[in-house]
Amino acid sequence: MAAYNQGRHLSRCLDSLRDQTMPSTDYEVIVVDDGSSDETPEILKERGSDLRVLTLPANRGLPAACNAGLDVANAAYVMRVDSDDWIEPDALLPQRNVLDAQPEIDIVVTDHWRVTEAGRVRRSPDPGNVFTWIATGCMMRKARVEEAGGYRPLYWEEYDLYLRMLERGATLVRLEQPVLSYRAHDESMTARESARLGGWRELLDAWPLETLRRWGRDDEMERVVGEELTAL
């Protein structure tokens, strides 16, 4: 988990990571405090031995913080959770069981709840469309993440990582179970349309369009493609 100034949501997330059906001796919670200036450091200190905390001296951004956590992780499998979200009690064990039983599978993509002030809606990923997967809640083989180079400093850092893994032959399966609640709020990174569209332009600069379309489709991405073609 990368944590940056989300102290008001952090305790619920940490509680959900603690209260798992998987025995606590079978997994480790690594939190990277990415230079927070709110109550995040105090909350993490209060948790004591429940966590492994890395503190970055200054804010380095989400991809760098995620990579810092990956660098010290000892497990064969990793799962990212953002500090303003939370997971279900049975989030870890079923995914580990899939990866243990099927060594040919590298990524488990999962259903999730999208939570707003109006309530929650279940969202399901399309295994054939990488742009329907989210950054959090899915379990991956750490070795395959490392082979792909970890996270790069892009707005859509998760799509970029998944694409590099897929291009290297990574395989996946969908777990038809909502394991994570994704909190959609005005302060989230993806709340602003202008930022999302800029992220698509960045991804289109990093990847050939035919490669992106081979692994999926997204309406906003196609909008950006259309705008750029019109500008020509």
Per-residue confidence (pLDDT) for residue 191, from 0 to 100: 66
The DSSP output letter for 6 is -
**Banded pLDDT at 188 (limits 50, 70, 90):** low
pLDDT, tens digit, for every residue of 88-97? Answer: 999 999 999 9
Report the run of H or E that residue 212 belongs to, with start and end: helix 209-215
Mean pLDDT of 153-180: 97
Is the pLDDT at 229 greater than 90? The verdict is no
Q: Give the three-state DSSP class for 31.
A: strand
| Cβ proximity of 205 and 140 under 8 Å | no
Break the chain into its structural domains and give their ranges.
2-191, 192-232
Per-residue confidence (pLDDT) for residue 185, from 0 to 100: 64
Q: What is the CATH number of domain 2-191?
A: 3.90.550.10
| Residue 82 main-chain phi, psi, to 5 deg | -85, 150
Select from 52, 58, 53 the least CA-distant residue to 37: 58
| Cβ proximity of 171 and 104 under 8 Å | yes
Q: What is the DSSP string of 98-147?
A: HHHH-TT--EEEEEEEEEETTEEEEE---TT-GGG--SSS-EEEHHHHHH
Is the pLDDT at 21 greater than 60? The verdict is yes
Q: Give the three-state DSSP class for 17.
A: helix
